[in-house]
Structure 1
Amino acid sequence: RTAHSRFKLPLELTEESLCRITKNTQLGKLLADTNFVILDEAPMNDHRCFEALDRSLRDIIDIPSSLFGEKSVLLGGDFPQTLPVKKGASKMEIISSCIFESALCPSFKVFTLKHNMRLTRPDISLEERSLVNSFASWLLDVGDEKIGEPADEDPENTSWVHDPPVYCLPPDEQDIINSKVLDMVAGESTIYMSQDEATPTGNDGVETEMLYPIEHLNTFKLPGFPPHQLELKFGAPVMLLRNVNIVSGLFLLFRLPIKMELSTIAQLNPNSTKKTLKAKIYRKWVAKSPPEMTPYAYYCIFLDQEGNAIQANMALKDTDYFDVKLQMGMAYRISNFSCEATSRYQQTLENETSLRFGRYMNFDAISTTTFPHDYFHFTSYNQLESKLPRHDSTGKIQYPALTDYIGCLRSTGTISDFGNPNIRQGVRRKIEIENLKFKARYEYTPPLTIYKNPHKDVQQDNTRNMFPLKTIMDQNPQSYKGIRFTAEATITGINMNKDWCYISCHKCGKAAVVHREDYSCLDHGPQPGPFFSCEQSHGTRMYRAGRKKKIPPEILATQEKHAIIQFQFNTLGNLTDLSLDAVYDVQKQEHNTASNIQEINKGTPSSASAATNEPTDEEDNVQKDKEKYTAGEGVTQQLSHSTVIDAAKNNKESDKQQGTSAKRTLFDQQSTESKKHKKDWKLRNHLCKHK
């Protein structure tokens, strides 16, 4: 800070001037707590500056009789250099304003610096040390008036000094040295171009433009002015040639490195400030509000080198300015922008942070070689339902971000009206898109071998129709209606916005009607209530399900666990998702399967019974409901694009070929028990209908 800025010194000084500082202000308290004051380049200041500071400190500290309020003051400077600078002053006025003419001068003790600290640097060579020493000696001789040349018009005036070439470089060599220093700094350089123009005087504007074209002005190299093409890098040192912002410390001859923090899109948040971003413009458009399609803003999407995307928001009035400033496919170093929270209305990206651009931003064009060419936010077919607008806990509609989807356009409908015509009516068009991914899979994916009938052994049935999850997802869901699959996977999360169970009829699959705690189907009568079983250390326990919105903690505990899951394709709605039937622990299932295979190899029947405690009343009621109302699961259904193997028939032919029952496969079932099983189900279904 300069002395006038820090101590609030008046520009017009008198013998009775004071600093504009009062006791109870923040600056007054700061000076009261200060113990040491350093004033550099003191010989260049008027002695009345120090006298005004002395009077002000005595008043603030309340010690009128002590010099500078008993504060220690250090004045630094070289007296053989420049004297105080006063506009339009004579030689006598300049000398009389020097600090030696002040009454405070005898109170200071003079210390002379005798050692050149630049010579003590260990990293300079002997030649550089000799050059620095000779320059310091020459500079002292100039100050002591030991070196001087007589002027041509006044031979007795020896104040002219001839600068040796080694101490003063010509402009061309200065540019070469600056280029070499800039090459030593790592990083990518940016070239800043000057904007030169000749200011006309009076009415000679046309003549001025003809005599001084811009191309000619760009060739000027004036002392104290930067070149037309100024090349800079982050970390390169620069020196200010004039006062830019004295309050912030940016004043004449101030040295500072170019520092600017580069950020990525992932590091930004709505509260980020003073950031610099390297990004490539990917899309730009004028946002419009339906149904009138009224423009209200100008938007852009930027990509960084990591492949992340962020939206930039601009005012509608600045559309023409930014449309020319930001070119599609170009990359920029962007600074002086602000961040804000992403608006949910017509949200284009999942990023919670957006950029806010104004006209006072900086855009520096950079290379696009390290940036991605495209950006898409693809959604799979099974995830489209999660992209629908939903109501939050307060009843407000939450609109999801726009998504990208690859498909085959099958048909387009006509434009139709929707919404309330008295309030806000819009138009829409129905478009049917076929999933290209599934279409290609269906044409080239071979059908799976399916075992539909359940096994007698529980452990064998738990591995029925077991395939890798990717293989199952490559199949056409419409061809496997009602088929239970088994796969080994990890449940990464549970959708808390949907019901955890669907209470339906066991025959037709329609939703059951709920009356208090009873469930019934309009076509097939009473139905069992929802229940689920959970295997515990002491056995398997049955639980009645509560509300559909409240997911049981036993089901929530399956998240982030690697397990064996059993599920079916749910093809009743518009979108195909999975209906989960059971979840088994992988280690327990592998142990049970290994034990089962050992018993089969020994020729002994497998044991599927589990040690359980006595069932509670609730478990007993659930089991009775299940036995009373569960429909027949052994009915064979003809499937397209798949091979259904009748387990009973297959095992019967296998028995004839092998000639012994000890070599039956894991899918063995007795034909007589299967027929009896079907008769029992027919009888139960008949009783249910009759009841």
Structure 2
Amino acid sequence: MVQITPIKDLEPDDTRKFIEAKVYRKWIATKNEETTPVSLCSILIDEEGTGVQVNINTNDSAIFDKYMQINKAYRISNFICEKTLDWQRTLPTKVTLTIGKCANFEPIPPDRFPQHCFHFASYDEVCNRIEYQTPILTDYIGCICNIGNIQHSKNPNSRKYFRLIDIIDLNNNYLQLILWNERATSFPIDEYESHTKPVLIAVSSCWPNIFTGTGMVQLKPTPATYYYLNPNIPEYQNSISAYRELFSQKPMLLADKNRRQDPQEEQRRNRITLQELNTYDFQNNKVLRNNKYTCEAKIQQVENNRPWFYASCDKERCNKKVGGKIHELLCPTHGTLKEANFSYCFRILITDGTSTITLALLCNNAEKLLGISCKKMIVELGFDNKYVLPDPIKALEGTTHIFQFHYQSPNQYMVDDIFPINHTATYTPPNTETPPTADIDTPKTNTPKMKKNLFTSSDEAETAAKKQKKT
């Protein structure tokens, strides 16, 4: 009688063993970004749910095509067990099987084999594994909170493109699954959209990693990585109710992060009331901090307890804060300047009838709202006292707009965009014999006398404005 060996008991250099297993996954391995196959690979799982990788030489593709059929099961013999090297590891199993023309395949019923093979790690375990010198293959399950668009690698010599899948667990821990090339383009978005939200994803055989640019925990794929939406496994059945309860209480955990090209669609993306917004704990939730929200609201007040603009050096690659009187502007690097860059930096209190929040308005968004550049406001209209709000800015109070914004710091949000609702601030300069008939940006022949004051601003406003210019 043939003795069947469990996969977990296979040892390197074993050759006279029999196993019974089901074909779970298969793929064609290539070298780097090349398309030429270097190996034909698959994963088998036995009755105990233990997986093992199988490698088949590309010259034996007939075996791969005939026997490595997903969900088919066989009694297999005449294979070689080799020690799994760290660089080629896709499973925690200590051996990898090499199969050639002499291998024997006897078909058997697949019903008694498990449908999936997972060994899920918690978020804390994923973080701990990042620090190991020898990476540990990781399976993970969580809820999809965003599907990113296809992005191209920033490396100009690379042909790679990728997609980021944002995943959250029941403790509001947040990480990303990165999918490259074909995996990125073939992600089943239509299937995702067809499911009732929330949708859980189970992903297998990934390397835990920290993305140095953002400090975000990421799961990097290996050749054996695969993902399943709402898989029929006990972990899904045991947790889906809890996820539904979580997202019914905090629907913005599933906020849409993909910008729309159509402004009408974009201004409806992640629409929220300020009352709901104020219930969220932004400081302790990365998912919420990374979202952009929109709300139709009225400007209740423009704050006047801080400078409303700041000046910076106009020399290339400088942009340092400028000090001095308006006709004696001084840059720490370039000395006395004839010209400078002027940028808005004021805050507004808005209300939608349910609650209020404070928004920071900088640079282009403030200019979009006012219809005039900061430099023209100062130089042409003569509002050069940074501590006294100009009349055009005061005229914003009482106007209604659709604001798009994100969390910046406790009790303050940063404006990302503004959509008009036929309410615009209007201002007519005083003592004007002939009111301008054109837009307020129309150049004037008579420039009012400049007031003398210092052009300085808080570091916080300057830093935020620089970030907005880069975006």
TM-score by length of 1: 0.24
Higher helix proportion, which one? 1
More strand by share: 2
State the structure with more CA Rg: 1
